[in-house]
Amino acid sequence: MSARYLTKQIMKTKFKIFLLAIAASVFSSAYAASPTYNNMDALFGFRVTSGTGATIDGIIDLGPVSQFNHTFTLSLGDLGTYMSTNWGSDWFTRLDTTGTLAAGSTAVQWAVVAGDFAGGTDNLWSTRNPSIQSTPWPRNFSQGDGSSSIDAVGTTFQLGTIASGTTSAIVQTASVSNSWASYQPAPPNGANYAGSFKTWNPTNEGSTSTVMPFDSIPTATAANQLGTTLGFFSWSSNGNITFTVIPEPSTYSMLALGGLGLLGLMILRRRRAARA
């Protein structure tokens, strides 16, 4: 077999591999995974006020709100790379330079929301910045605006493409209709809808390092009743999102009983030592 023949065969093989690589790339692009959104899914979203990526925002579907009954770090893929790639390596610490936020606020502002639009109850769930809203969000008879707005964002979220390395994160143009940013903190619908998602005034957002309570807000039986805090969301500089649940009252009772038992044991030991 001549060297010339071998060279031709090698070239043909390389060319086939090249064509296969192109086909795989085209196939992958054409069939890139699309995100899914279901009623009562918690959406983790953020907007950027200045610096890298100020014209885009991000949304991550955290899954159903029913899962937030225990403490855990959510398995959502490599969110650190997702953030750095689209919003710069300083995304976690970069300060707002627009002057529209409180001094010391970061340029990335985030929140978590969920709504029960399909269930017809208009129940809502939302984070709150404790430095802005110290008590749980109050219930309101007109929670339909909030749930329908969240559903509109969720529907638009499904039109995106899941970012590489993540399970459910997308990037979207902040200025498009029903984007996350279009409802944060006040949508372009006039002063009557001031506040996040037409509901939380002035905002339900926080800076990247803010630990934010997460409130359940059922439909009111009386106006301005307070919702219930389920736990706390936190976001770390590596992109990880953690939920820390608030223990049930029975857990506190057990802890208290355990503490009293320990105190009694210490007193008994001291008395025995004194007698000896």
Query: Is residue 250 predicted with pLDDT exceeding 60?
Result: no
Q: Using 50, 70 and 90 to split pLDDT, how confident is the model at 77?
A: very high
CB-based contact 217:126 (threshold 8 Å): yes
179-217 pLDDT, tens digit each: 999 999 875 544 456 789 989 999 999 999 999 999 999
pLDDT at 43: 98
* Alpha-helical runs (H) found in the chain: 3-30, 79-87, 144-157, 249-275
Q: Which of 216-220, 235-239, 250-254 has the highest mean pLDDT?
A: 235-239
What letter does residue 66 receive in the DSSP assignment? G
What single letter denotes the amino acid at residue 6? Answer: L
Mean pLDDT of 137-155: 91
Percent of the chain with pLDDT over 70: 74
Spatial distance between the Cα atoms of 87 and 77, rounded to a whole number of angstroms: 17
Spatial distance between the Cα atoms of 174 and 58, rounded to a whole number of angstroms: 9
Q: Where are the domains of the chain?
A: 1-31, 41-250
Query: Is residue 7 predicted with pLDDT exceeding 50?
Result: yes
Q: Which of 121-125, 175-179, 211-215 has the highest mean pLDDT?
A: 211-215
The backbone region for 192, taken as left when phi is positive above 0, alpha when psi lies in -120 to 50, beta otherwise, is alpha
Q: Using 50, 70 and 90 to split pLDDT, how confident is the model at 10?
A: low
pLDDT at 24: 43
pLDDT at 37: 97
Global pTM reads: 0.79
- 3-class state of residue 226 by DSSP: strand
24-71 pLDDT, tens digit each: 443 344 346 999 999 999 999 999 999 999 999 999 999 999 999 999
Query: Is residue 78 predicted with pLDDT exceeding 70?
Result: yes
pLDDT at 262: 44
Burial, 240: exposed, middle or buried (Cβ in 10 Å; 0-12, 13-18, 19+)? middle
